[in-house]
Amino acid sequence: MKITALCVAIFIAAFLVCGCTQQQASVPGTPTPSPSPATPHLTAKPIPTVSSTPFQMPTLERTPSVSDNTVNIKGNSFDPNVISINAGATVRWVNNDDTTQRLRFADGTVSQLFSTGQSWSRRFNDNGVYQYSSSVIPSMQGTVKVV
């Protein structure tokens, strides 16, 4: 009798342990909870591919964009200080400095005042070299080369 009781107790214990690890069957019409991801704020993005050979550095193709013709104003300087563009292109100056800016060109063109976070643009139709400076900080000088 003791062996039977011991076997029953082991069976019941094994049943309870196994029962705790089993998934519950879903009831029709009841939504099944899904596990939440470890990092819900991240989304998967495709990894860009590049072609390369084992002994050659990979190269990326570059597509021209508006940012290619952007001059940033920061630290009382123009970055880049000299920019080369094609005739008909537009250059945009973005003021990332604490000082309000106004650009003055050697050809007589003067920009509007533009504050931190604002920008000003100018289209250059004719080939040539266009020198400019800040009318607020005259030591800030830059050049636009139009080819």
Which residues pair with residue 82 across a beta bridge? 143
Amino acid at 139: S
pLDDT tens across the length of the chain (147 residues): 566 655 555 656 555 555 554 444 445 555 555 444 443 444 445 555 554 445 444 444 333 344 479 999 999 999 999 999 999 999 999 999 999 999 999 999 999 999 999 999 999 999 999 999 999 999 999 999 999
Residue-range domain boundaries for the chain = 67-146
**Going by CATH, does the domain composed of 67-146 fall within 2.60.40.420?**
yes
Cis upstream peptide for 48 (omega within 30°): no
Distances (CA, A) of 101 to 36, 62, 70, 108, 127: 50, 31, 15, 16, 26
Residue 98: both structure tokens together: 């604490």
- The answer, as to whether pTM is greater than 0.75, is no
**Contacts with 2 (C-beta within 8 Å, 6 or more apart), sequence order:** none
